[in-house]
A and B are shown apart, each in its own frame.
Chain A
Amino acid sequence: QVQLVQSGAEVKKPGASVKVSCKASGYTFTSYYMHWVRQAPGQGLEWMGIINPSGGSTSYAQKFQGRVTMTRDTSTSTVYMELSSLRSEDTAVYYCARGYYDIWGQGTMVTVSS
């Protein structure tokens, strides 16, 4: 079946980087864009950016420009989201979601704490 499976929870120190993966299965990986959305504890949804798995082009929310990098590996049908210079405010659940938002990953909890 169509699904997105994300990597496991991470705990990072302030200033470090984190790389979250999202493995797609059950559909043609390069046919759908992939979004990244995050949600801080008790807060709403926040769009971070989008990647085109076909060509690798990306577009990031202005808030994350310079700190986020989205990449893909077509050989494994996996997209990655790397966030650098982590601070406590980046503590959140990070989701990948297929282009039309019809399929979501299960979420990856990233905790930033000293």
Chain B
Amino acid sequence: SYELTQPSSVSVSPGQTARITCSGDVLAKKYARWFQQKPGQAPVLVIYKDSERPSGIPERFSGSSSGTTVTLTISGAQVEDEADYYCYSAADNNGVVFGGGTKLTVL
């Protein structure tokens, strides 16, 4: 089975840069996605193919990859970015996995 490991929480002040990491062996071979989820809402895709940003997602959201670790960076985090963030990857043979999630606090 595959596992993706994220920190349980990250905290930054408004305007600072938030970085959330996600580690797992599958990431060396497969792309990652990142989702943002606010309380009571469905997840929203913010990054795909490690670093691509869907239309409508603010430019302050970016992604990068190095070896078995991917990183979601929020440059100039805003209060409205406070949410849970999940990484995701899909390996061959239908091995699909989400990371455990990271609670981002902006205050």
Q: Which residues of A contact B (CB under 8 A)?
A: 37, 44-47, 50, 59, 61, 95, 97, 100-102, 104-107
Q: Distance in Å from the Cβ of A51 to the closest Cβ of chain B?
A: 12
Residues of B in contact, count (CB < 8 Å): 18
Bound-state Cα–Cα, A90 to B44, Å: 23
Which of B42, B54, B98, B100 is A104 in contact with, Cβ under 8 Å? B42
Q: Distance in Å from the Cβ of B101 to the closest Cβ of chain A?
A: 4
Q: Are A101 and B45 in contact (CB under 8 A)?
A: yes
Q: Which residues of B contact A (CB under 8 A)?
A: 33, 35, 37, 42-45, 48, 54, 86, 88, 94, 96-101
Nearest-neighbor residue (CB-CB) of B97 within chain A = A47
| Contact (A44, B86) CB under 8 Å given A59-B94, A102-B54 | yes
Q: Are B43 and A45 in contact (CB under 8 A)?
A: yes
